[in-house]
């Protein structure tokens, strides 16, 4: 491999964030899953129901993000955004605490996963590019 070709691949910037139709579909899907999850929490009010947010955000997001990380971000974004309108509705259709709890938890999980995936993708891409 020539040095000019090697310099071009190593210095390649990260691709721009593009919202495609599948990202929008994952946002809508995350919104619906979040809404159903919040209704379950509202109906049962048990501690296990509050822990379902962790399982319905982290596991699907990692699986989706392995295919395309922007789709995973879209899923989590939709999941978090669903908490805002839910917090303004009165029971039995919504609850202030559950809505903002869902938003805050999803937002913090998004930050953690974003840092992990962002760092991992950069590390993996630099390993692939330096290979001779």
Write out the chain's pLDDT in tens, 132 residues. Answer: 455 444 444 445 555 667 789 999 999 999 999 999 999 888 887 888 888 888 899 899 889 988 888 898 899 999 999 999 999 988 778 888 899 999 999 999 988 888 887 767 666 656 655 555
Residues present in the chain in total: 132
* Residue spans per domain, the chain: 21-125
Res 47: pLDDT: 83
**CA-CA distance, 102 to 34, in Å (whole number)?**
8
Res 7: pLDDT: 46
Res 9: pLDDT: 47
Res 5: pLDDT: 47
- Identify whether the C-beta of residue 102 lies closer than 8 Å to the C-beta of residue 54: no
Tens of pLDDT, residue by residue over 101-130, are 999 999 999 888 888 877 676 666 566 555
**CA-CA distance, 70 to 104, in Å (whole number)?**
20
């Amino acid at each position: 491999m020539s040095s000019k070709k090697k310099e071009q691949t190593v210095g390649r910037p990260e691709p721009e964030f593009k919202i495609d139709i599948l990202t929008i579909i994952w946002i809508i899907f995350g919104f619906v899953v979040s809404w159903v999850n919040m209704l379950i929490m509202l109906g049962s009010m048990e501690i296990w129901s509050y822990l379902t947010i962790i399982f319905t955000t982290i596991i699907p997001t990692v699986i989706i993000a392995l295919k395309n990380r922007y789709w995973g971000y879209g899923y989590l974004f939709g999941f978090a955004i669903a908490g805002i309108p839910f917090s303004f509705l009165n029971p039995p259709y919504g609850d202030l605490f559950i809505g903002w709890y869902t938003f805050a938890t999803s937002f913090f999980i998004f930050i953690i996963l974003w840092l992990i995936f962002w760092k991992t993708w950069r590390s993996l891409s630099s390993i692939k590019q330096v290979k001779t």
